[in-house]
Structure 1
Amino acid sequence: MQNRIRSDPYRTTLVCIDSAQEGLLTGRVYHPYLPSGAEFKNLMQFLLIMEDLLDKLQFPQSFTAHRSFRMQPEPAPPLPSENEPHTGKIATFSVRVIFRQNASWQGSVTWLEKEKEENFRSVLELVLLMHSATSPEDTHNQAQTSA
């Protein structure tokens, strides 16, 4: 499964989670257009980095973006990817955004350490999937039983 995920590096973003204290995810994002990676300290930074990256790639195009027939500037060619694999201290995810519709993202996320893949229909669902993988099982189960 990992070969399939890593075989298309331009459509896949690697998300390395280094800390998940009290649900606050921090880590790094890697993509060929971000050769040295981008660090995030909270969920908002992660979402803004991803949205900016998708806008620069112009793929997938945002459903709500203004479109025209004018020539769009081509993104700069990516730098060669590093041979060193990146992994998070807590978890590593491969995120593939296929659509950006209804002001959200749709695609698939793979938890690389467990080789589990799930589809997501919104950014919220993506975040909840990542949270479920990085939160301790007993805390997650307590939250479900108290609801």
Structure 2
Amino acid sequence: MDRYMRSAPYNMLHICVDVASEGHIAGRVYNPTIKENIVFRDVNELFLKADQLFDRNGNPMPSSLKRSFTPRDETRPHYYQRHPAQVCEYRDLLVQQGKVITLDLVVLTRHLSSWQGYLFYEDQTYEFKEVLEIVKTINKLLNL
């Protein structure tokens, strides 16, 4: 995991799960490019808010552009690969712990409208090729 922390901390999510019951999780997400944590009430909100963060950061880039019939909002960032500024070190975020479980997620790419990368839990590493694999792994780790 150290390799990813040095190379691409803007792609990493430090996920603190505070509530887990019957397939439902809620908690907080930390990333070194934002000052405040992201609060999520369910797994769908987790992925939607994280995707918005990646869009804002411009990294990892989406494989397809979002389209709309309304005029383009010029305040919204353009899609391009960039290295956003860090407001804190990723290692500083590691002190945050979830009440139920704490996970680290590295999203390397966003192809085919999904995510690809690695999920870290304690000394275990799980590779994923789509978001559904992340959900299945989290549920397995939580015994849900």
| TM-score bracket relative to the smaller structure | 0.7 to 0.9
Helix, strand or coil: the match of 1:35?
coil
Instruction: Determine which structure has more spread, i.e. the larger CA radius of gyration.
Output: 1
- The aligned amino acid for 2:115 is W
- 1:91 aligned partner: 101
How far 1:6 moved relative to its partner? 4.2
Q: Give the letter for the 2:45 counterpart.
A: Q
Check whether the contact 1:5–1:94 (CA below 8 A) recurs between aligned residues: no
Q: Does 1:103 align with 2:113?
A: yes
What is the DSSP-based 3-state SS (H/G/I as helix, E as strand, rest coil) of the residue aligned with 1:10? helix
Runs of 4+ in 1 over 6 A off after TM superposition: none
CA distance in structure 1 between the partners assigned to 2:143 and 2:19 by the alignment: 10
CA distance in 1, matches of 2:6, 2:79: 29
In 2 relative to 1, CA 87–56 (structure 1 residues): closer, same or farther, beyond 3 Å? Answer: same
Length, aligned pairs only: 129
What 5-or-longer segments of structure 2 have no aligned partner?
A: 67-77
Identity %: 26
CA contact (8 A) 2:18 2:99 kept: yes
Is 1:46 matched with 2:46? yes
**Cα offset, 1:77, TM superposition:** 2.7
Q: CA RMSD in A?
A: 2.4
Shift of 1:14: 0.5
**Is the Cα–Cα contact under 8 Å of residues 23 and 135 in structure 1 kept in the other structure?**
no
Structure number with higher relative contact order (C-alpha < 8 Å, ≥ 6 residues apart): 2
Cα deviation 1:9-57 (Å, max 9, x = unaligned): 3231101111111110101100012222111111111011110011111
